[in-house]
Amino acid sequence: MSKFKILDRINSSGKSYIIYKKTKGFDLYTNFSEKIILSNNNINKFLKSISSNKKNIKKTDLYIGFFGYELLNNLIGIKFPKQKSNNFPKGIFYKPETVINLNENLYFKTSLKEKKNNKFKININKKNYTKIFNMFKRKIKQGETYQIKICTKYKNKSKIDPLDFFCKLSKSNLAPEAFLIKDKNYSVISCSPETLINKKGRSIITKPIAGTLKKYKNLNKKKALQYFKKNIKETKEHNMIVDMERSDLSRVCIPGSVKIEKQKSIEEYKDLFHYVSLIKGKLHKKIKNIDIIKAMMPGGSVIGCPKISTLNLLNNQENENRNIYTGSFGYIKFNGDMRFNIIIRSIINFKNTSEISVASGVVIDSNSNHEFNENYIKAKALIDLFK
């Protein structure tokens, strides 16, 4: 059966499935024998129950899914004030019994009569954004944080075919951490660019992204790199995030093993360029996966720093639950290897409502107008799918 027909067959079967980008092509996971809905009460038990001693594992010997933002905060002891919520699950993991390899060229023509709506409501308008921005600027001057990310949400009512959207996104804005979850009552479509954890044996890497530049005519990767290097604000922001993620990694790695493998390079996407570094370390022998998750999540590049005080500031300011946004999606294999991204550049469709969350960073040199506009730039590739 051709790869094109596989997508048609699985999508029309009514089965839940997941597609995840790999170095070449995608893996499609389906025929789930377990679906574990996580809560603040069972997450520790779930993580401790996954074997990490198995050596000869099959492709299906893993759990794949996501940790939501609130769940990860709770895991490290950070509590939440009451927030507006749509009661979306805090985390879900699946045990697949089938894995199918797909090539880069995903093709699918939907038969569903999609009810697209290209008009989005934003939960924070420019005036309110500026108020929050100025408040956080005062917190920076008072030393409570050095950098903090303001989250805005774009929402609309829409009936979409997530596979149709994901295939279009893979052609227009393919990202190294792209994924699709299609379940019976929700879907997530993501072009996330950021790898938070890639663990193989005792080797671990993280790839912080801090710095965004809108594309315009005649702008290429070389010119984008020159812009970032000359821009004091972007350089400060990037350095702070790299230092924080090095520190997070050092909590679980052998002293002296944490190194910057690739510093301040450029990655290109549909509407923007990103400023990226890559950090590598060697894990302590006695470190467990739950220790790594607690050390690294939520990912610092989408929170700010220092992490704990900044998380507390964010959570007390935000009156709406982030759901999966700035949580992590990925898998844990039964030999202990794992890969997780940071969930950004994503559409969550739940109860026929589509939600796109984005965030921009505030440092002492930031401009509120620039950061507000940067949020839209980050969301644009996803909003364009609704046209």
Per-residue pLDDT band at 2 (split at 50, 70, 90): low
CATH number, domain with residue 103:
3.60.120.10
Number of domains present in the structure of the chain = 1
Type of residue numbered 210: A
Instruction: Supply φ then ψ for residue 49, to 5 degrees.
Output: -80, -15
Angle in degrees, CA 248, 249, 255, rounded to 5: 115
Find the Cα–Cα–Cα–Cα dihedral 87, 298, 205, 284, rounded to 10°. Answer: -110
Give the mean pLDDT of 314-338. 95
4: confidence class by pLDDT, cuts 50, 70, 90: low
Per-residue pLDDT band at 202 (split at 50, 70, 90): very high
Q: How confident is the model at residue 366 (pLDDT cuts 50, 70, 90)?
A: confident
Mean confidence (pLDDT) of the chain: 92
Q: Which domain holds residue 283?
A: 3-386
Give, as one character, the DSSP assignment of residue 59: T
Cα(76)–Cα(192) distance, rounded to whole angstroms?
24
The pairing of beta strand 62-67 with beta strand 91-102: antiparallel
DSSP state of 352: T
pLDDT tens digits, one per residue of 230-274: 888 788 888 888 999 999 999 999 999 999 988 888 888 878 888
- Percentage of residues of the chain with pLDDT beyond 70: 99
Residues 6+ apart with CB under 8 A from 218: none
The model's pTM is 0.93
> Given this model, what pLDDT does residue 272 score?
84
Q: Is 380 helix (H, G, I), strand (E, B) or coil?
A: helix
Kindly write down the DSSP assignment for every residue of 229-278, as one continuous string. Answer: HH-HHHHHHHHHHHHHHHHHHHTTB-TT--EEEEEEEEEE-SSEEEEEEE
Cβ atoms of 310 and 136 closer than 8 Å:
no
Tell me the average pLDDT across 94-100. Answer: 97
